[in-house]
Amino acid sequence: MTVGIRLLQQLFLLVILLQLEPRVADSNNMIRCIDEEREALLTFKESLVDESGVLSSWGPEDEKRDRCKWAGVGCSNRTGHVIKLEIQPIDFGSFPLRGTISPALLQLHRLTYLDLSLNNFSGSPIPEFIGSLTKLSYLDLSFAEFEGPIPSHLGNLSALQHLDLSLNHLFSVGNLDWLSHLSSLTYLDLGSNNLSRSTDWLQVVGNLPLLTTLYLYRCHLPPIVPLSLSNLNYSTSLQFLELSENNLTNSIYP
C-alpha cells in the first residue's frame, strides 16, 4: 500500500518535472537572449560619439540593467525582445550623435523599427549590413550626413513599409532594381539625393503596388522617355507625390 502511494507520488513528481522542463529551458533562452541584446546595444553605443548624453541611460551597471528602459529602445510588450530603436539628438541644436553604426545591430534579431535620422555619420556610407536586418518594417536614415552609393542590399528588406533616406549625399550607382523587391512599401522618400544614373526610376516606383507616398524632390532624376511608359503598371494607391526641383522639363508626364 505505502509502496503504491510512494510510487504514485514519484510518478506525480515526474509528471510535474516533465511539465516544468520546457519552461525552464524557455526562460534560460530568454535570459541568454536578453543578455545578448544588452551586449549588442552596448557595443552599438561604443561606436558612437555621444557629446550630449543622448545614451546616458545606457550602461552595464546594475541599476541600468533593464535595456527596455534605455532611451530610444522599445521592447515588445508580448515577447520582451528589443523591436525598436529610435535615436535622435535630445533637441534641435544639441550635438548630434557622431561615429559609425556597429554591425552589433545584427544581434537584435527581432528589430522591426530603426530610426537614426538627424544624427551625423560624417560622410560615411550606409553600411551594407543594414540589408540583413530582414525583420525591419520601418527604416529612417534621413538627414544624417550619409554619403556614397545607396546599397542595393536594402532590397533584402522585403518587409519594409516605410523607407526614408532623404537629405543625405547619396547616389544611385545604376538602376533601382533592388527597390522593386520592396513590394510592401507604402512610404518612400529618397529626396535630395542623386538618382541621375537610375533611368528606370519611373518603372520601379510606378510598379510598387502599395505605395501611397513618394518623395523624389531634388534627385537629379533623368528625363522620362516615352519608351519607359510602355511596361508600366501605375501604382493606383498613390496619394502624395513630390517631384519638384528635378529637370523634367522635356519629359512627358504619364
Residues lying near ligand NAG in the complex (CB under 6 A): 74, 76-77, 84, 98, 120, 122, 131-132, 145, 152-153, 155-156, 171, 178, 194, 196-197, 207, 220, 223, 231, 233, 247, 249-250
CB closer to ligand NAG out of 28 and 47: 47
Q: How far is the CB of 233 from ligand NAG (least distance, A)?
A: 4
Long-range contacts of 224-227 (CB under 8 A, 24+ apart): 224/248, 224/251, 224/252, 224/253, 224/254, 225/199, 225/251, 226/252
Torsional sign, CA 143, 144, 150, 156: negative
Question: Which CB atom, from 117 or from 152, has the smaller least distance to ligand NAG?
Answer: 152
- Cell output for 126: 550606409
Length of the chain: 254
Q: How far apart are CA 198 and CA 185, in angstroms?
A: 19
Residue 226: CB minimum distance to ligand NAG, A:
14
Whichever of 10 and 183 has its CB closer to ligand NAG, that residue is 183
- Cβ at position 122, least distance to ligand NAG in Å: 4
Cβ nearer to ligand NAG, comparing 19 with 249: 249
Q: Shortest distance, CB of residue 108 to ligand NAG, whole angstroms?
A: 14
d(CA 144, CA 16): 55
